[in-house]
Structure 1
Amino acid sequence: MRTDAAEVLDSAIAVLAKDRAASMQVIAARAGISRATLVRLFPTRKLLVQAMAEKILDDCDRVLTRTEADSAPMDQVLGVLVAEYTPFAQLWNLVYVDPDVSGLPEASTRAKAIFIRTVKLMERGQKSGLLRHDMPATWLASTFCGLAETAWELTLEGHMGARQAPDFINAILLHGAAA
């Protein structure tokens, strides 16, 4: 039986991405633990959702810190961001829309700061010549997050392999959908 809080959070994130109304019982069952274990780790659904948001925000921070500190060529830096797309997908899928999270000013502030950092990374990509200059960096950052969310959802639903997702995100982000 899995009782590690981080593993439970990962499972819960995937459950709520598919079913926003999932009960604690459903979340526990899909995480492979008892409801009692889930409640021991997270006494209420609201606390569970808040812990999920904190994990997602921390994961986004970790990825962005790696990309910001990287002096490698921009294609490699973007490669790190794209390879680590999952927390950005979860940010858009859960943090921005869940009322238990969106009502928390600190989560909202952190989410906005993460998005601004993502925009700065896209501006860096534009300055390097890797990314298009004819679109605002905000559009490119939003596009990345939207592509990440789509890839993550398709992976969860079994329509795409987990190893395919970064390649697909990268292809669309860098080359669009043109033939």
Structure 2
Amino acid sequence: MRTDAAEVLDSAIPVLAKDRAASMQVIAKRAGISRATLVRLFPTRQHLVQAMAEKILDDCDRALSRAEANTAPMEQVLAALVAEYPPFAQLWNLVYVEPDVLGVPEASKQADAIFDRTVTFFKRGQNAGLLRKDMPATWLASTFCGIAETAWELTLEGDMGARQAPDFIAAILLHGAAA
């Protein structure tokens, strides 16, 4: 049985993403742990949700830090960031909509900083000539997060393979939906 907090969060995040009203009992059951284990790690649903947000934000921060430090050609840097798409999907899916997170100023401030860095990353892609300059970088960053959310949900539902998702995300970002 999983009792490591990070593993529990990895299992619980998709549960809450699919069922916003999920109780601690439901989250524990669907995450494959006992309610007692979940409550031992996260005494309340609010603690659990805030820990989820913290993990998602930290994962986004790490992925962006790697992309910002990467000096490879921009196409490779974008591919590397897109390969780490799940936390950006979760940012869009959970952090920006969950009331237990929205009420925490530090989490909202960190989420805004993550998004600002994502916009800056996409400006870098525009400046490198990889991404369209006729669209605001904010649009491109929002599109990335939205497409990442769709890919993550389809992967969770079994409608898309986990290894397909980054390629599909990159294809849409680089080429749109044109044939």
Partner SS for 1:71: coil
Q: Percent identity?
A: 83
Which runs of structure 2 are paired with 1:33-44 in the superposition (5 Å)? Answer: 33-44=33-44
Unpaired segments ≥5 residues, structure 1:
none
Please tell me the residue identity of whatever aligns with 2:119: V
Cα deviation, residue 131, structure 1 = 0.2
Alignment-derived partner of residue 143 in structure 1: 143
Partners of 1:33 and 1:68 in 2: CA distance? 37
Alignment-derived partner of residue 125 in structure 1: 125
Partners of 1:107 and 1:12 in 2: CA distance? 19
Partner SS for 2:177: coil
Partner SS for 2:126: helix
Which runs of structure 2 are paired with 1:156-167 in the superposition (5 Å)? Answer: 156-167=156-167
Unpaired segments ≥5 residues, structure 2:
none
Which runs of structure 2 are paired with 1:46-65 in the superposition (5 Å)? Answer: 46-65=46-65
Cα deviation, residue 143, structure 1 = 0.4
Q: Which runs of 4+ in 1 moved over 6 A?
A: none
Q: Return the TM-score normalized by structure 2.
A: 0.99
Partners of 1:34 and 1:91 in 2: CA distance? 26
Please tell me the residue identity of whatever aligns with 2:129: G
Q: Return the TM-score normalized by structure 1.
A: 0.99
Partners of 2:66 and 2:42 in 1: CA distance? 30
Please tell me the residue identity of whatever aligns with 1:84: E
Partners of 1:112 and 1:33 in 2: CA distance? 33
CA-based RMSD of the aligned residues comes to 0.5
Alignment-derived partner of residue 114 in structure 1: 114
Please tell me the residue identity of whatever aligns with 1:24: M
Cα deviation, residue 32, structure 1 = 1.1
Partners of 2:163 and 2:86 in 1: CA distance? 12
